[in-house]
């Protein structure tokens, strides 16, 4: 002990440390070290990214009319870089028979996986997280090539969000899924009651194309940590990168000694999606997409009463009061609109600005949006690209029509408003960063998700006016309120009919992975992320057992079958209710006395 004290003295306390205090410190440190739970370390592995993801890659031909459809070959998906129109090759669509085989293999692997400890599951997530952190650039480049986004947007939307989910699950997942002790109540005081969270079995996720890495890996993290197997349907629009994500998670499982068949990936068109959602062998469905397709998913799942979680996009608002800190607010809202070309379910699609600062706000946003540069981050010169391409080009006509409708009804399009032909990438899929001002609730663009780089500005007078205009949309996913008055910011935010809200910020609730993610209205229902997301993938089993082995539930002779006197039996049960649940002790005592009398 003396030698240990002398060792730590100069590092922490100088020469003034008393022997008694030093002994206490040593004991505390020793208890901490020896009481820590042993953890299984991450296991490193390597995985070579596809050559097409490298900057400057130009081996693929530029398609004259980029499309995922291969004429005459419904079994193939044409993959291409939306920023350039350059072919990335073709991917074979999964067949229905192959899907059934994958579900079967996942089910078999889940049987043993369900018996693993939380620490074994954490090891897989640690292994995956270490790979992500060590290979951020490669992951971002793969995502950029398949979806046309920038490296910054990929880092924030693909990597940061995934690592946040991994770290939260590693640190908090077990606590969220521990048995939940419940109060058995007065009448059942001799029982022990709890909720046990058990894996459902094989769950599925049908995910959107806007963030191909995060949308694919996120559901896998929650599924496997909660003890499930999972079948992920990647969008046909980002089918090229699916193989890389699949290899990544399977390698992480394999190096940790687990069956990689636990996680299955499929891709294809509507037929494979319908086969997955209607399968009686799927125990839960998570769907990320549009309200229209979400309704079809619900209808398909209803055949087997398969539970669903639906995240169906949003028309997120930001309310900016005149006392907001514009030096903070404006850059945040620029990112809320321009990030990933606004292909974000929680992208800012409506900005309501108080009339006192409206014109100043319009002028500043016009200056900023005019300066936004679009292009391919993997092919253009450095420092030339702020905003990437759009994954879907077939939406351009719809976006232009929404803008035209707004202008016809009195709005002003101050910047952009049209599809953009890039001089270097004429086959790329770009839409001009757009500023549309003086928008009112009567305009179609306020009720339809744009999913494009269009900043919509609306003017409001006071709190109630802002709330009325926000609630004119049927969507209710995320929201933001900007105000220098914290009380007002919180008050207005809590009145918004949305599933999520942020005061003086945008979208940060998703970085707080302890919070559930989801909406109301046509934005869907159910939640992923947080404890709620993990528990949604479990059967919440109500469980009771005797608190003491010699105290069990008796059936009094007066109500034991066959019942000898039904009227007397009824009076007996009536007094049991009064005894157990009366408001006052005196009423309970009287009921107890009557019980004794009836029992005689």
Q: What is the C-alpha separation between 347 and 558, in angstroms, rounded?
A: 65
Distances (CA, A) of 266 to 190, 212, 269: 50, 13, 10
Q: How many CB atoms lie within 10 A of CB 42?
A: 21
Which residues have C-beta within 8 Å of that of residue 77, sequence separation ≥ 6? 68, 70, 90, 91, 92, 93, 236, 239, 267, 268
Decide if 45 contacts 251 (C-beta within 8 A).
yes
Beta bridge partners of 503: 481
Assign 477 to helix, strand or coil.
coil
Confirm if 437 and 459 have CB atoms less than 8 A apart. no
**CA of residue 488 relative to chain centroid, distance:** 28
What's the CA dihedral at 555, 560, 564, 569 to 10 degrees?
Answer: 50
Tell me if the bond preceding 562 is cis, omega within 30° of 0: yes
- Give the whole-angstrom CA distance, residue 253 versus residue 256: 5
Beta strands in 185-315 (DSSP E): 191-199, 202-206, 229-234, 263-267, 284-288, 308-311
Q: Structure tokens of 173?
A: 């997942």
**Residue 546: strand, helix, or coil:** strand
Distance CA 81, CA 240 (A): 10
Kind and range of the H or E element at 430?
strand 430-431
Judge residue 137's burial from the number of C-beta atoms within 10 Å of its C-beta, 0-12 exposed, 13-18 middle, 19 or more buried. middle
What would the two tokens of residue 430 be? Answer: 């770009």
Residues in the chain: 600
Give the C-alpha separation, 78 to 87, whole Å. 8
- E-only strand ranges, 250-329: 263-267, 284-288, 308-311, 316-320
Tokens of 462: 């006071």
Q: How far apart are CA 161 and CA 143, in angstroms?
A: 14
**Contact status, residue 229 vs residue 93, Cβ threshold 8 Å:** no
CA distance 421 to 388: 13
Residues designated as active site: 311, 345
Q: How far is CA 489 from the centre of its chain?
A: 25
Distance between CA 444 and CA 437 in Å, rounded? 14
Alpha-carbon distances, residue 565 vs 43, 123, 569, 570, 576 (angstroms): 71, 63, 6, 9, 17
């Amino acid at each position: 002990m003396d030698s240990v004290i002398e060792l730590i003295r100069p590092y922490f306390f100088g020469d003034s440390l008393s022997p008694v205090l030093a002994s206490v410190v040593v004991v505390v440190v020793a208890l901490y070290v020896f009481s820590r739970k042993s953890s299984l370390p991450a296991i490193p592995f390597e995985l070579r990214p596809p050559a097409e993801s490298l900057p400057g890659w130009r081996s693929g031909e530029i398609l004259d009319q980029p499309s995922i459809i291969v004429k005459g070959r419904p079994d193939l998906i044409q993959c291409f870089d939306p920023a350039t129109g350059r072919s990335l090759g073709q991917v074979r669509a999964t067949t229905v028979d192959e899907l059934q085989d994958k579900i079967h293999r996942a089910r078999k692997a889940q049987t043993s996986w369900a018996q693993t400890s939380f620490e074994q599951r954490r090891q897989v997530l640690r292994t995956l997280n270490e790979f992500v952190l060590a290979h951020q650039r490669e992951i971002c480049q793969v995502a950029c090539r398949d979806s046309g986004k920038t490296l910054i947007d990929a880092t924030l939307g693909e990597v940061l969000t995934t690592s946040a989910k991994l770290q939260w699950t590693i640190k908090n997942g077990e606590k969220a899924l521990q048995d939940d002790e419940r109060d058995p109540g007065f009448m059942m005081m001799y029982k022990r009651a709890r909720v046990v969270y058990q894996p459902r079995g094989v769950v599925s996720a049908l995910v959107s194309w806007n963030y191909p890495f995060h949308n694919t890996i996120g559901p896998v993290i929650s599924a496997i940590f909660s003890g499930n197997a999972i079948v992920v349907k990647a969008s046909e629009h980002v089918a090229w990168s699916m193989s890389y994500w699949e290899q990544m998670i399977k390698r992480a499982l394999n190096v940790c000694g687990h069956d990689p068949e636990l996680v299955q990936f499929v891709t294809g068109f509507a037929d494979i999606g319908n086969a997955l959602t209607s399968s009686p062998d799927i125990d839960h469905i998570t769907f990320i997409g549009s309200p229209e397709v979400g309704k079809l998913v619900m209808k398909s799942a209803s055949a087997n009463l398969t539970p669903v979680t639906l995240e169906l996009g949003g028309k997120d608002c930001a309310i900016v009061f005149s006392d907001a800190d514009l030096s903070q607010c404006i850059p945040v809202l620029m990112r809320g609109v321009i990030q990933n070309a606004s292909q974000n379910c929680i992208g800012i699609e409506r900005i309501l600005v108080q009339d006192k600062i409206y014109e100043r706000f319009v002028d500043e946003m016009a200056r900023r949006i005019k300066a936004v540069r679009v292009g391919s981050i993997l092919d253009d010169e450095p420092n030339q690209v702020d905003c990437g391409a759009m994954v879907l080009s077939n939406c351009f006509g719809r976006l232009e029509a929404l803008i035209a409708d707004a202008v016809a009804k009195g709005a002003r399009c101050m910047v952009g408003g049209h599809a953009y032909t890039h001089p270097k990438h004429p086959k790329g899929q770009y839409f001009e960063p757009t500023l549309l001002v003086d928008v009112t609730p009567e305009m179609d663009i306020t009720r339809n998700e744009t999913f494009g780089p269009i900043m919509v500005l609306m003017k409001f007078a006071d709190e109630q006016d802002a709330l009325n205009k926000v609630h004119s949309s049927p969507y209710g996913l995320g929201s933001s309120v900007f105000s220098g008055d914290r009380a007002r910011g919180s008050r207005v935010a809590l009145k918004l009919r949305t599933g999520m809200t942020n005061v003086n910020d945008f979208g940060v609730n998703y970085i707080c992975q302890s919070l559930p993610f989801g909406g109301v209205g046509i934005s869907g229902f159910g939640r992923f992320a947080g404890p709620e997301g993990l528990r949604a993938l479990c059967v919440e089993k109500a469980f009771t057992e005797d608190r003491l082995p010699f105290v069990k539930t008796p059936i009094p002779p007066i109500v034991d079958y066959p019942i000898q006197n039904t009227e007397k039996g009824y009076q007996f049960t009536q007094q049991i209710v009064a005894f157990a649940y009366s408001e006052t002790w005196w009423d309970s005592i009287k009921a107890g006395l009557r019980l004794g009398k009836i029992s005689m």
